[in-house]
Structure 1
Amino acid sequence: MLKTRVITAIVLLAVLLPVTLFAPVAAFGVLIHVVVAFAAWEWARLLKAGKVGSIVYALIAALAVLASERLASPRPLFQAAGIFWIVAGPYVLVRKPVLAAGAWRAFLLAAGLVLFCACWHALVLARTSGVAFVLSLLLVVWLADIGAYFAGKAFGKHKLAPAISPGKTWEGAVGGWAAVMIVAAVALALHAFEPTLYSALAGQLGLGRAFFVLTVLVAFSVVGDLFESMLKRQAGVKDSSGLLPGHGGVLDRIDALLPVLPLAMLLLG
């Protein structure tokens, strides 16, 4: 299992890193377009759209991204995605409705198109601001995840959402938040690799508000993670798919990014 995880990680890095670091923004956009299409396929599968229905949905999502490029500004997409995560996200986690049936399934299939388009635009817009900027944005989620894992292992006692994801703890969530705060503080103090998300937030909002926004982003990374965990739990599966051997599916890797990306770009104005 570990060997499979390592091989998959190496292959992914061999594809993602060169495109992110050295390729033109257009090539980066194409790569993210492919990622979004696979994520949409998994989203539909978790909502029990069926084999054919899931493929059709992925194609529709890919076309929706292409069509959304004609928008004068992606801000309406960021706003719509932000409303979804601020309102529907917590509601679903608290009330736990059946998501893959009736009106909820129809709503989530429609909302998913907006979420995936917003995700694509946020990443491409971030990449146009520079490699360091897009990496610093992704780093918020990566650090929150890594910090939560190690803090949860070391100190975790109080379950965060036992009915949805029994392994997550409040101590882990705080550890993830602390990891983001520390790295952001160090990056700002050293003016490292600017412009970054941290320097942009500090420049526009001031230090205090910048750290508050980062706290909000970390919180919503947890919401995105738990939301996908609930989808999987209700679908009766461990992973969103087997596309990434040893790592699950694409959604398993980007679930926390789905709320963070549009909210970050929206809060930056």
Structure 2
Amino acid sequence: MLKSRLITAFILIPLVIAALFWLPPSGFAIATLVVCMLAAWEWGQLAGFTSRLQRIWLAVLCGLLLALMLFTLPPYQHAVQQPQIGASLWAALGWWIAALLLVLFYPASAGFWRGSRALRLVFGVLTIVPFFFGMVALRQYHYELDRFAGAWWLLYVMLLVWGADSGAYMFGRLFGKHKLAPKVSPGKTWEGFFGGLLTSAVIAWLFGLWAPLSVAPGTLLICSLIAALASVLGDLTESMFKREAGIKDSGQLIPGHGGILDRIDSLTAAVPVFACLLLLVFRTL
């Protein structure tokens, strides 16, 4: 299992970085849309759809919705100023605050959504759609001035999340004793949680020394810390829904890693939250 995870990671990470810097914003948006369609296919299980045909339609409808909203955007502009993107990012901030409450009070919190397929679909929309537009907004960041500026920001957020995940895994394996959320994800510990934050902090500091991130240090620190915390919440939230659905992995599309949602669960929270804070709260346009 570990061998296949490492091999897959060594293949996927360079591909993701290449897509960030080599694809134009339109091509990157299409690639992200495909990822979101696959995520919607997997969310169908979490929402209670057992039929393959139902899940295919869910993925198709997700793609059509995102494509329709994407075609209404002017090219290479301050995307966050468009109402559909700004509204999506604000909705993400509200959703992840609500998700935090659902995780903290689980399993009692599942009482009001466990039997509602429609409500679980709404949760999926609030997870996938803002993630898509967070990726689009960050990729178009200052594109008219520097076509790689947004790619650097997205790489920064991804490294924060990967650092938090890897740090939590390593510190948890070495020092983990106290459970973080035993009713949601028994394998996660407080030691791993703080180890992941420490790893993210080191990555943020090193990245800030070398990468062209033109933002005030205080703003970057706040956005980075909250994004790292959000990444943990994204992971726990997906674990909560998988536990309710009675499945271990959201899918089997990525060898050794499970499904698409298993790989982007942290990013679905971190990317839109980071984009909302950076572009809307602190208005670093």
Q: TM-score, normalised by structure 2?
A: 0.83
Q: Output aligned runs, 1:120-135, within 5 Å.
A: 120-129=132-141, 130=149, 131-135=151-155
Give ranges in structure 1 of 5+ residues lacking alignment.
none
AA aligned to 1:139 is: L
Q: What is the match of residue 5 of structure 2?
A: 5
Q: For residues 204-231 of structure 1, what are the alpha-carbon distances to aligned partners after superposition, in whole Å with 9 as ceiling and x for unaligned?
A: xx52x54233222222111110111111
For residue 27 of structure 2, give the secondary structure of its aligned residue in structure 1: helix
- Is 2:201 aligned against 1:185? no
The structure 2 residue matched to 1:78, chosen from 82, 86, 89, is 89
Change (3 A) 1:114 1:162: closer
Query: Within the alignment, does 1:95 sit opposite 2:106 as a pair?
Result: yes
- How far the C-alpha of 1:90 sits from its partner, in A, is 2.4
1:40-189 correspondence to structure 2 within 5 Å: 40-50=40-50, 51-69=52-70, 70=72, 72-73=82-83, 74-96=85-107, 97=110, 101-103=114-116, 105-129=117-141, 130=149, 131-188=151-208
Change (3 A) 1:22 1:185: same
CA distance in 2 between partners of 1:3 and 1:76 (Å): 42
- What secondary structure is seen at the aligned counterpart in 1 of 2:34? helix
Q: 1:124 to 1:68 in 2, by over 3 A?
A: same
Distance 2:17 2:225 in 1: 27
Confirm or deny: 8 A CA contact 1:99 1:231 kept in the other structure.
no
Query: Are 2:159 and 2:203, in contact at CA under 8 Å, matched by a contact in 1?
Result: no
Partner Cα separation in structure 2 for residue 210 and residue 10 of structure 1: 28
Query: How far 1:6 moved relative to its partner?
Result: 4.2
Alpha-carbon distance in structure 1 between the residues aligned to 2:112 and 2:41: 16
Amino acid at match of 1:175: G
Tell me if 1:265 matches 2:275. Answer: yes
Equivalents in 2 of 1:214, 1:89: separation in Å? 18
Amino acid at match of 1:148: A
CA distance in 2, matches of 1:136, 1:14: 14
Shift of 1:101: 4.0
Q: 1:44–1:98: structure 2 CA closer, same or farther, 3 Å change rule?
A: farther
Q: Determine the C-alpha separation between the residues in 2 that align with 1:162 and 1:16.
A: 33
Confirm or deny: 8 A CA contact 1:48 1:100 kept in the other structure. Answer: no
Structure 2 residue ranges without an equivalent (≥5): 74-81, 142-148, 281-285
Aligned length: 258
Q: CA RMSD in A?
A: 2.1
- Structure 1 Cα separation of the partners of residues 14 and 197 of structure 2: 29
| Cα displacement (A) at 1:28 | 1.2
| Cα distance in 1 for residues equivalent to 2:15 and 2:202 | 29
Deviations 1:10-37 (A, max 9, x none): 5434643332221212111111111000
Equivalent residue for 1:233, pick from 226, 235, 243: 243
2:222 is matched with 212
Is 124-133 or 33-42 further displaced after alignment?
A: 124-133
In structure 2, what residue type is equivalent to 1:145? D
Tell whether the 8 Å contact from 2:17 to 2:155 is kept in structure 1 after alignment: no
Supply the distance in 1 between the matched residues of 2:14 and 2:205 (Cα, whole angstroms): 30
One-letter identity of the residue aligned with 1:257:
L
Q: Quick one: structure 1 residues 109 and 99, their matched pair in 2 at CA, closer, same or farther if it must change by over 3 Å?
A: farther
Shift of 1:40: 0.8
